[in-house]
Protein backbone atom coordinates (compact mmCIF):
# COMPACT_ATOMS: atom_id res chain seq x y z
CA UNK A 1 0.00 0.00 0.00
CA UNK A 2 1.42 3.40 -0.93
CA UNK A 3 1.05 6.43 1.33
CA UNK A 4 0.25 10.00 0.27
CA UNK A 5 3.90 10.74 -0.59
CA UNK A 6 4.24 7.59 -2.68
CA UNK A 7 6.26 5.81 0.01
CA UNK A 8 5.31 2.33 1.12
CA UNK A 9 2.84 2.62 3.99
CA UNK A 10 3.07 -0.42 6.25
CA UNK A 11 0.05 0.55 8.36
CA UNK A 12 -2.17 2.22 5.79
CA UNK A 13 -3.96 5.52 6.13
CA UNK A 14 -6.35 6.74 8.79
CA UNK A 15 -9.95 6.37 7.58
CA UNK A 16 -10.84 9.74 9.18
CA UNK A 17 -8.03 12.16 8.27
CA UNK A 18 -6.41 10.07 5.47
CA UNK A 19 -2.92 10.62 6.95
CA UNK A 20 -0.46 7.76 7.15
CA UNK A 21 -0.71 5.74 10.36
CA UNK A 22 2.44 5.38 12.44
CA UNK A 23 1.52 1.95 13.84
CA UNK A 24 -1.28 -0.58 13.37
CA UNK A 25 -4.71 1.03 13.93
CA UNK A 26 -3.10 4.17 15.41
CA UNK A 27 -3.40 7.62 13.87
CA UNK A 28 -1.33 9.95 16.01
CA UNK A 29 -3.34 13.01 14.95
CA UNK A 30 -6.84 11.58 15.43
CA UNK A 31 -6.19 9.34 18.43
CA UNK A 32 -4.41 12.07 20.41
CA UNK A 33 -7.27 14.46 19.58
CA UNK A 34 -9.72 11.86 20.95
CA UNK A 35 -7.67 11.45 24.13
CA UNK A 36 -7.54 15.25 24.53
CA UNK A 37 -11.32 15.56 24.10
CA UNK A 38 -11.71 13.00 26.90
CA UNK A 39 -9.61 15.00 29.42
CA UNK A 40 -12.74 16.56 30.95
CA UNK A 41 -14.27 13.12 31.59
CA UNK A 42 -11.78 11.88 34.17
CA UNK A 43 -9.58 13.02 37.04
CA UNK A 44 -7.43 11.26 39.58
CA UNK A 45 -8.20 14.02 42.05
CA UNK A 46 -4.52 15.00 42.09
CA UNK A 47 -3.42 17.81 39.76
CA UNK A 48 0.16 16.55 39.22
CA UNK A 49 -0.96 12.98 38.47
CA UNK A 50 -3.53 14.31 35.98
CA UNK A 51 -0.85 16.44 34.31
CA UNK A 52 1.51 13.44 34.02
CA UNK A 53 -1.21 11.27 32.45
CA UNK A 54 -2.21 14.06 30.04
CA UNK A 55 1.43 14.65 29.07
CA UNK A 56 1.89 10.98 28.15
CA UNK A 57 -1.34 11.04 26.13
CA UNK A 58 -0.43 14.21 24.21
CA UNK A 59 3.02 12.82 23.36
CA UNK A 60 2.09 9.21 22.54
CA UNK A 61 3.50 7.66 19.38
CA UNK A 62 1.40 4.50 19.50
CA UNK A 63 -1.56 2.92 21.29
CA UNK A 64 0.49 1.46 24.16
CA UNK A 65 2.62 4.56 24.65
CA UNK A 66 0.56 6.44 27.23
CA UNK A 67 -0.97 6.20 30.68
CA UNK A 68 -4.68 6.31 31.41
CA UNK A 69 -6.69 6.87 34.56
CA UNK A 70 -8.88 3.94 35.58
CA UNK A 71 -11.64 4.64 38.08
CA UNK A 72 -11.69 2.34 41.10
CA UNK A 73 -15.18 1.06 40.24
CA UNK A 74 -13.81 -0.62 37.09
CA UNK A 75 -11.93 -3.16 39.21
CA UNK A 76 -13.31 -6.42 40.58
CA UNK A 77 -12.10 -8.77 43.31
CA UNK A 78 -10.25 -5.97 45.08
CA UNK A 79 -8.18 -7.40 47.90
CA UNK A 80 -5.99 -5.62 50.45
CA UNK A 81 -2.44 -7.04 50.25
CA UNK A 82 -1.75 -5.64 53.73
CA UNK A 83 1.33 -3.92 52.32
CA UNK A 84 1.85 -0.22 52.90
CA UNK A 85 3.84 2.34 51.00
CA UNK A 86 5.03 5.59 52.52
CA UNK A 87 1.87 7.37 51.38
CA UNK A 88 -0.33 4.54 50.14
CA UNK A 89 -2.05 1.23 50.80
CA UNK A 90 -1.57 -1.51 48.20
CA UNK A 91 -4.34 -3.73 46.83
CA UNK A 92 -4.57 -6.40 44.14
CA UNK A 93 -7.49 -6.46 41.71
CA UNK A 94 -8.74 -7.57 38.31
CA UNK A 95 -9.43 -4.95 35.64
CA UNK A 96 -12.30 -6.66 33.85
CA UNK A 97 -12.42 -4.34 30.84
CA UNK A 98 -8.68 -4.39 30.27
CA UNK A 99 -6.66 -2.07 28.03
CA UNK A 100 -7.49 -1.34 24.40
CA UNK A 101 -4.54 -3.29 23.01
CA UNK A 102 -6.14 -5.95 20.82
CA UNK A 103 -5.98 -5.23 17.13
CA UNK A 104 -9.01 -6.19 15.09
CA UNK A 105 -7.07 -6.55 11.84
CA UNK A 106 -10.16 -6.87 9.66
CA UNK A 107 -11.69 -3.65 10.99
CA UNK A 108 -8.22 -2.05 11.42
CA UNK A 109 -9.11 -0.79 14.88
CA UNK A 110 -7.98 -1.45 18.43
CA UNK A 111 -10.67 -3.04 20.57
CA UNK A 112 -10.95 -3.85 24.28
CA UNK A 113 -9.13 -6.98 25.30
CA UNK A 114 -11.07 -10.15 26.01
CA UNK A 115 -8.48 -11.11 28.64
CA UNK A 116 -8.69 -10.09 32.28
CA UNK A 117 -5.78 -8.11 33.68
CA UNK A 118 -4.49 -8.60 37.20
CA UNK A 119 -2.78 -5.64 38.74
CA UNK A 120 -1.80 -3.69 41.78
CA UNK A 121 -3.79 -0.69 43.00
CA UNK A 122 -2.51 2.02 45.28
CA UNK A 123 -4.75 4.12 47.49
CA UNK A 124 -3.02 7.36 48.42
CA UNK A 125 -3.45 8.33 52.04
The set of residues, in sequence order, having a beta carbon less than 8 Å from that of 107 and lying 6+ positions away, is none
**Sign of the CA dihedral with 123 first, then 39, 14, and 23 last:** negative
Per residue in 89-117, pLDDT (tens digit) is 888 888 877 765 554 555 555 555 544 55
Per residue in 19-47, pLDDT (tens digit) is 888 887 788 999 999 999 999 999 999 99
Chain-centroid distance of CA 36 in Å reads 12
Q: Is residue 84 a part of any domain in this protein?
A: yes
Q: Is residue 11 a part of any domain in this protein?
A: no
For the chain, how many structural domains are there in total? Answer: 1
Range of the domain at 106: 70-125
Q: Quick count: other Cβ atoms within 10 Å of Cβ 53?
A: 20
Amino acid sequence: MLGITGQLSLYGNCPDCKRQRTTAAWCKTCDIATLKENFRNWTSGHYKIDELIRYTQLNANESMDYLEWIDFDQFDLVENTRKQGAYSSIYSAIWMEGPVWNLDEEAEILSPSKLRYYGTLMQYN
